[in-house]
Amino acid sequence: MLSEQCKTRVQGYLDSSGSGPGKIIDWILIGLIVYSVVTLTIDTIPGLSPALKRFLTISEVVVTLIFTLEYALRVYSAPNRWRYIFSFWGLIDLVAIAPFYIFLGLGLAGVDLRGVRAFRLLRILRLLKLARYSRTLARFHRAFELAREELLIYLLLTLILLFVSATGIYYFENPAQPDAFASIPHSLWWAMVTLTTVGYGDVYPITAGGRFFTFFVLMVGLGIVAVPTGLISSALSQVRREESDARLAALEAEEAAQGRGDG
């Protein structure tokens, strides 16, 4: 009974939709996420002073302990513990703190685990919670749902186009530039950089044939940029129209009801 009450209270503190102390704790946790992400970022800069290095290490230990406490409390207070542990946010929370302990365990054993630290940055995804309760995100979600199948087909078309482009340019440019266009997988890099209009300039066709081919690829490539824009744009338009139609229908129903009441 007492334990149940305690659980409910802890839950209230951690629930970001709650008012009062829950809200404050939520903002503190968001601040800690931003802080930990910033310190982990700074930590990668080469040539930091030993004092700053030591400060960053200590601050990381402290922050990770707080997140561990948060995770433990969330597991403790969850109505259904296993469900929380295996939920999207539960896994993110675990993955964000686990590297520290693996690092501590194996790192003391002399294993180099620098790469594992990257997982701690997954914690940044929790910032998405900032937008969790907004109507806007619901609209985004609805628009993506409407356009989902179209986006998938667009992805399929993009992959085929990338492949066809890479194959074509390989046969045009390989004899002239055997290093830059060494194979079709190498040419895929060019195809991707070109079709997205990034154009780093590290590889580009120099033969007349390759340039003609690039012209055709780019004429279609502009469509690659255009189609998903059109998809999302038209889906968002529809969501907005649905919303205003729903408002209109509600209004009309109300008027009709009033009309009957008057009659």
**58, amino acid identity:** I
Residue with Cβ nearer its own copies (73 or 125)? 125
CA angle 27/31/34 to nearest 5° reads 140
How far apart are CB 38 and its own copies at their closest, in Å? 10
Residue with Cβ nearer its own copies (72 or 111)? 111
How far apart are CB 115 and its own copies at their closest, in Å? 6
Residue with Cβ nearer its own copies (20 or 46)? 46
Of the candidates 203, 198, 201, 195, the residue with the CA atom closest to the CA atom of residue 219: 195
Residue with Cβ nearer its own copies (6 or 131)? 131
User: Tokens representing 248?
Assistant: 């209109």
C-alpha pair distances (Å), 122 with each of 81, 89, 262: 22, 11, 60
How far apart are CB 83 and its own copies at their closest, in Å? 26
User: How many Å apart are CA 54 and CA 22, to the nearest integer?
Assistant: 33
User: Tokens representing 108?
Assistant: 């003391």
User: How many Å apart are CA 27 and CA 25, to the nearest integer?
Assistant: 5
User: Tokens representing 111?
Assistant: 């294993």
How far apart are CB 98 and its own copies at their closest, in Å? 17
Residue with Cβ nearer its own copies (86 or 133)? 133
Residue with Cβ nearer its own copies (78 or 169)? 169
How far apart are CB 2 and its own copies at their closest, in Å? 40
C-alpha pair distances (Å), 113 with each of 9, 22, 109, 119: 38, 36, 11, 11
Of the candidates 140, 144, 111, the residue with the CA atom closest to the CA atom of residue 128: 140
Tracing tokens 């030993």 back to the chain, one arrives at 50
Residue with Cβ nearer its own copies (82 or 216)? 216
How far apart are CB 226 and its own copies at their closest, in Å? 4
Distance of CA 67 to the CA centre of its chain: 21
How far apart are CB 102 and its own copies at their closest, in Å? 16
